[in-house]
Structure 1
Amino acid sequence: MSDEDFLQFEEDEEEQPQGKKPDCWRILVVDDEPEVHRVTRLALDGFTFADRQLEFLNAYSAQEAQKILKGSPDIAMILLDVVMETEHAGLELARWVREDLKNSFVRIILRTGQPGQAPETEVIANYDINDYKEKTELTSRKLFTLMYSTLRSYRDIMAINKNRQGLQKIIESTASLFELQSLQKFTRGALEQLSALLHIDEGTFYGADDGLAVTADGDNVIIQAGTGKFQSFVGKPLSTALPEDLCQDLMTHLDKSDITIREHDYIGSYISRTGSRNLLYLSGLEDISAVDTDLVRIFGQNLAVAFDNLYLMQRFRTNEQMMMHEVGEIIGSRCTAADDHPDRVAEISRFLARKVGLDSKSVNLLYKAAPFHDIGMVSVPDSIINKTEKLSEEERRLVEKHTETGHHILSQSSQDLFQAAASIAKYHHERWDGQGYPGGKKGEDIPIFARIVGIADVYDALLSPRSYKSAWPIDDIKDYFRQQRGKQFDPNLTDILLVHAEELAALNPIQEKA
């Protein structure tokens, strides 16, 4: 043999442990001849690729190889003999890896000393392997060449896969972030998703890094979320958590919208269209690859859009609440004796909705929509609203029209809040027995929101003094609701109200004075 040939036997070496070594390419040698394992290790002694050495795992049968492969999904390459416990054990193992284990990443190099039993053309055509070599042709130099080409292929395939996983993570995380509606939850979620993105294939807990998320309002820079050593600083000024030099560094980034990825840390600054300044900082990172950098930049761009939407949504909610308050004031001003009546109806409605088992989203929507129930009263003259005598038939019909007027006003918007409020405005005077107005709806045909507000409206109205009546005693109100159970009101809601009547009465200032 020439000095190129690697099949030169040396003294036995001690078996190396099969535990994973850090930053190594894992190579599984599957062959029933112990000498092949030893000389393979010897021939590749000192081999490195991309600054990483080799780690050898050894299997002496296809069955043993299966056990190793099941527990080691990060094996880069299999040097696989064909003939072992059976004539086609290696071929069957190759098929098992692809079809049963579903591992399409590991590179399979078939090595055979008996090519006649496994003809190259047939094997390449019928089995998903990456190369076919006869043992006699694998000199030391050719083995080096094989390792370079195979590991380069594996590295590139894994980079593509990580890119795919990263893009999938970005899509999933962006969707979940859009669901987080409070600023603190959103920034915490963004921090966790960013850390997860940088540890896609490491299996580490993504809260393990030291990271923080801050928002700035003028000179007031507050930590909204923290992981690792910054976890205890949530709600505190940035200056209390960091050394002065690092604090100044982050403050400099806070005033510009950009992403900075350094050797061991990440700084992402996001200035929304509303002018709000936000920053994510992650430290203690290692080996941020080009793939990581590209993925993080894509995530950062999506995050900037998410911050914009969050602040726009918060602004919308603020405007929504201000408008709700103004409308409530308008309604309340039409009848000064019913001071804060819309707000109390909302509180009672929320209480009943929770007791009847509505989900939290529905309860919150009802609470916001309930104060609009009598908005249609803006069309009714003050002379009728404040009249102390019994209303004439014409006046009564004019008052009843407030339900359809309110529905017309509120239904012009497609927003969920106004659609819910429009339904409440129209149907809250319907009766369980079908004798209400405007449509004579009956029983469960009446929307649940309208049934709840209808009972809350009457309850608070009876508790409150009006121009045409005094406040009713609580016992008289309970008697009235018992009489109207299943007639005017939903029986189930009536029972809940009766159980909690005194508790709800405390919401009314007239009762507090009494």
Structure 2
Amino acid sequence: MSNEDLNILDFLVDEPEDSAASAEPWKVLIVDDDHDVAATTSLVLRDVEVEGRPLSLLSAYSAAEAKQVLADNPDVGLALIDVVMETPNAGLDLIRYIREDMDNKLIRLVVRTGQPGHAPEQSVITDYDISDYKEKTELSAQKLFSLAYAGLRSYQQFLAMEQSRRGLMKVLQASTALFEQPSLAGFADGILENLESIANMHRGAGEKIGASAVLAVAEHNSKSVEDYEVIAGHGAVADARSLSDMALGAEDEKLVRELATRGAGIHTCRSEDALLAGIVGRGGQTSLLFLPELQSLEGPDAQIVEVFISQVLTAFENLRLHDQTERAQREIVLRLGEAVETRSGETGRHVSRVAQYSRVIADKIGLSASDSELLFRAAPLHDIGKIGIPDAILCKPGKLELDEWEAMKRHTVIGYEMLRTSDMPILQLAAKIALEHHEKWEGGGYPNDIKGDAISIEGRIVGLVDVFDALTSERVYKKAWKVEDAVELIREQRGKHFDPNLVDVFVDNLPTMIDIRTTYGDENLVTA
């Protein structure tokens, strides 16, 4: 080395600063079968700092030994690799092994050779994925310092890009999983779970964040924490019902009030303790994420979390509005069904029970959750066609005459014609149920005398539970039957009036049916 190199070396081996000594070191691997070259390189680099972090120097004296060092230290950021070691191309073979067999694209690889004629620079750079090519004769202390600094800064940039890529993949995976959530509460809980997962992606087991996170909503843009209902909560506030249950600090309550003063859109703000993100709808409805400890997140993680928050809050607000619309739809359907039953002098709770029974059976026979839910919502309209039956027939306390009975049977067709032209799935299914719920398994039902599997599964389910509830309920023309008598008739009609499989499922779940009959009852159930 020259005197200039030695002076630089003296400068480089000064005592490191305390901040660097406590920082996590960069790992640098020196691969060279010449022990003197490896030792000199280590001496030059031992006290170098890059971005305030010291170096941890690892040595290997063959390609085989380097493979083991890399296997034990997958976070090596820079490797200086000799070409000629145990074989003439050992270093080049090692580079290919690192990139292809280990699939390590992040580590920065620098070729150092004392025999440039054996491995020409242009050929090596063209054929191998390396960061730099150096002849050993040109590696002064200053150039070694520059080489290490540039290589590790490049590694840091590649690492940041890889972390961002992983974060984006996490967002995509989280979004896919979230949109599979079947309910508003499930979606809200998924938001919190995935925010914690994304935020903790690059942290150790002891550095987890996101505890006590909540998602809350207020129907009106409110400045009061009491008006925010907690939809989902994690950690210490899992059981909170409103933001007031969280005992927020004065600064955090101020953030909630500040959010209420902003216009429609997505807004974020931070306190010393938390990140607050909210979406304010045009009508003033506010959905709010309160995330303690996330306020200090920065860099790629912070950007990923902010993108995720923006997307999921928008999705959550849309889902919430959709949920409100569906709840209104279900309420209207139920009220229509109840109105028809009440008109005939019967209780409106009959349609609620039929819906509950139907969902139990649908779940037990393996219908999908969405199909079961749709049946539950459509079933209350099974007798909607009775709205077209004259009061004199519908409310007659005695037995119907033949012509009256023929008119009564028309309620199936009337209901179907009322609903069939709708493009709403709930009404399309309700139309089918209205038409088919008086058909019989072996035929002979009305209005079309179809049988077996020609009757939709939904029509068969509602047809069975409708009979059970009608038999065990008092009507203007009869007293309520005992449960065991109604069940006995249903058993007798297995394979005749009713689908035999559905009868078996109904009987197997009779305690559940009785519980529904009692819970949604309007008179004392006759059981004995």
Shift of 1:298: 1.9
Q: In 1, Cα distance between the equivalents of 2:442 and 2:526?
A: 36
Is 1:423–2:432 an aligned residue pair?
Answer: yes
1:117 aligns to what SS in structure 2?
Answer: coil
Match for residue 234 of structure 1 among 237, 240, 253: 240
Q: What corresponds to 1:145 in structure 2?
A: 146
Q: TM-score, normalized by length of structure 1?
A: 0.86
Is 1:320–2:317 an aligned residue pair?
Answer: no
Match for residue 260 of structure 1 among 253, 269, 276: 269
Alignment of 1:356-395 (within 5 A): 356-388=365-397, 390-391=399-400, 394-395=403-404
Match for residue 460 of structure 1 among 469, 472, 475: 469
Q: What corresponds to 1:122 in structure 2?
A: 123
Contact kept? 1:76, 1:105, Cα under 8 Å: yes
Q: What corresponds to 1:492 in structure 2?
A: 501
Q: TM-score, normalized by length of structure 2?
A: 0.84
Q: What corresponds to 1:17 in structure 2?
A: none
Alignment of 1:17-416 (within 5 A): 22-180=23-181, 182=183, 184-202=185-203, 204=205, 208-217=209-218, 218=222, 219=224, 220=226, 221-227=228-234, 230-231=236-237, 234-235=240-241, 237-238=243-244, 240-253=246-259, 255-256=261-262, 257-260=266-269, 265-284=274-293, 288-388=297-397, 390-391=399-400, 394-416=403-425
Contact kept? 1:212, 1:223, Cα under 8 Å: no
Consecutive unaligned residues of structure 1, counting only runs of 5 or more, are 14-19
- Indicate the RMSD between aligned Cα atoms, in angstroms: 3.4
Consecutive unaligned residues of structure 2, counting only runs of 5 or more, are 14-20
Over 3 Å counting, the alpha-carbon distance change for 1:223 and 1:493 in structure 2 is closer
Contact kept? 2:338, 2:347, Cα under 8 Å: no
2:346 aligns to what SS in structure 1?
Answer: helix
Contact kept? 1:6, 1:39, Cα under 8 Å: no
Q: In 1, Cα distance between the equivalents of 2:216 and 2:466?
A: 42
Q: Deviations over 1:25-57 (max 9, x none)?
A: 322222233333332232224433333332223
Alignment of 1:420-459 (within 5 A): 420-459=429-468
Q: What corresponds to 1:3 in structure 2?
A: 3
Contact kept? 2:67, 2:94, Cα under 8 Å: yes
Over 3 Å counting, the alpha-carbon distance change for 1:241 and 1:403 in structure 2 is same
Shift of 1:261: 5.5
Contact kept? 1:272, 1:304, Cα under 8 Å: no
In structure 2, give the amino acid aligned to 1:112. T
Contact kept? 1:273, 1:308, Cα under 8 Å: no
Q: Deviations over 1:85-137 (max 9, x none)?
A: 22222111111111111111211111112223322232222222221111111
1:317 aligns to what SS in structure 2?
Answer: helix
Q: In 2, Cα distance between the equivalents of 1:7 and 1:70?
A: 36
User: Alignment length, in residue pairs?
Assistant: 505
In structure 1, give the amino acid aligned to 2:138. E
Q: Deviations over 1:433-466 (max 9, x none)?
A: 1332334332233222211111001111122233
Q: In 2, Cα distance between the equivalents of 1:263 and 1:156?
A: 29
Q: In 2, Cα distance between the equivalents of 1:206 and 1:378?
A: 64
Q: In 2, Cα distance between the equivalents of 1:254 and 1:37?
A: 64
Over 3 Å counting, the alpha-carbon distance change for 1:121 and 1:7 in structure 2 is farther
In structure 1, give the amino acid aligned to 2:96. R
Q: In 2, Cα distance between the equivalents of 1:496 and 1:94?
A: 65
Contact kept? 2:28, 2:56, Cα under 8 Å: yes
Is 1:512–2:518 an aligned residue pair?
Answer: no
Q: Deviations over 1:134-183 (max 9, x none)?
A: 11111112222223332333233233333322223223323333344555
Q: In 2, Cα distance between the equivalents of 1:509 and 1:224?
A: 33
- Farther-moved stretch of structure 1 (432-441 vs 219-228): 219-228
Contact kept? 1:211, 1:280, Cα under 8 Å: no
Shift of 1:211: 4.3
